[in-house]
Structure 1
Amino acid sequence: MNELFSLQNKKILITGSARGIGFILARGLAQYGADIIINGTTAEGTDKAVRELREEGYTAYAMPFDVTDSGAVKDAVQRIESTIGAIDVLINNAGIQRRHPFTEFPEQEWDDVIAVNQKAVFLVSQTVARYMVKRNRGKIINIGSMQSELGRDNITPYAASKGAVKMLTRGMCVELARYNIQVNGIAPGYFSTDMTKALEEDDAFTAWLTKRTPAGRWGDPQELIGAAVFLAAKSSDFVNGHLLFVDGGMSVAV
């Protein structure tokens, strides 16, 4: 395999990877040689994902912990570093969505969105980066969104959290690049997932989306793997502070 894109024996922690896009990324990166550390909120979910990957011949480990709990994050990262090995790549993928009109948005649901989508990126990145700084190497990939740049009805807290992820990516780059740590982001457009199932089943929305997107369709989550491989591998060693949009051209169209 071309060493530019090889992830052979790289240990990659992916938050929120027991299912959905996180699990798709886990499998995709494993295909390039990575050892995957699956994170989720429950042992049942992470164990199931690990079994599936191992049955396919990949190396995977389960590490359930709450990404919004600083104590749990520190304990889990320490366990990974001491029992599995040095974390070469961190992918901050965990995220949630809640939908309400802005004037009716419940405060608790605002707090939940910000905690998972924004605060957790800070907590996990800070903890992992402390180890990476000592080794003078590492890569951190933050999963942003189209809403890192654009707003939409009923998801203002989500857009605010993903806008913050964009600026966390840039700020972390400025502070960590001197330690040979690359911090970049991936901003998916509209992909067919469990989170977007209601929108996908809305014929009017799908018609609007396909007209609005130059590629003329929903994205397939498998199409995010290439961007993740690029940003996790040697190929991106001088790419830093970048937000890579994978959106079929939607963000540049008027």
Structure 2
Amino acid sequence: MNDFIDYSCISMDERGVYCVSYAQIERAVEKYLQENHPEVLLAPQRIPIEEWIDSGEYSFILDMRNIAYPQAKGITAFSKMVIWSIDCETNEIRGIPIEESTIVIDESLPPVEIRFTAAHEVVHIKMHSYYFMRHSNAIAANSNVISLSSYLRKPIWWLERQANYGAGALLMPRVTLSLLFKIFFQTTKTFKIPKNDPRCCEFVNSICEIYDVSMSAARIRLKQLDLLEE
């Protein structure tokens, strides 16, 4: 599998997770887009992540279900597994066998969250196969956290952080978002937008409309690129 990251020169921590920085993820995603989809770096635009999955680019199929268990927005199955899904007609919960190489996304999510979850799962596939191939399956977002302190020590937490960052970089590429910033603010340089700047909400709304992402995802991405005050 062709990964985003070359791990040959990256150390692995005691949890079995490669110590990848956000800067490395940023560069890796940008390199992937340049080599495979250079057209999306020419101008700010909606990234067709679902279409890329459906085309077979990642060798995974996309399956939409109303997920009841595991409690997750999305699931990446690297091997056969069973999930529990709510039947939309009978409202009954039943077990659904899931084939390996399947991305399952909760169809009850808003469209923008479905897109972000799809990108999140793609990052898992392209970055974390080394980890999940050694496990039965990968749960992309588990909300059933009893103890935060114990969860933070789990390898999955660090993988989720990497996947979330990668998803933002994939859906809102640094190159085109910086271009949009300069066009919107009519400047040749980027700067950090003050929290009380009345143009901030308008710019965030523009990002949401152009890239088809949520307002929270847009704000997080601006903070990642050091374009928005905390």
What is the TM-score of this pair, normalised by structure 1? 0.28
Higher RCO, Cα 8 Å, sep 6+: 2
Higher helix share: 1
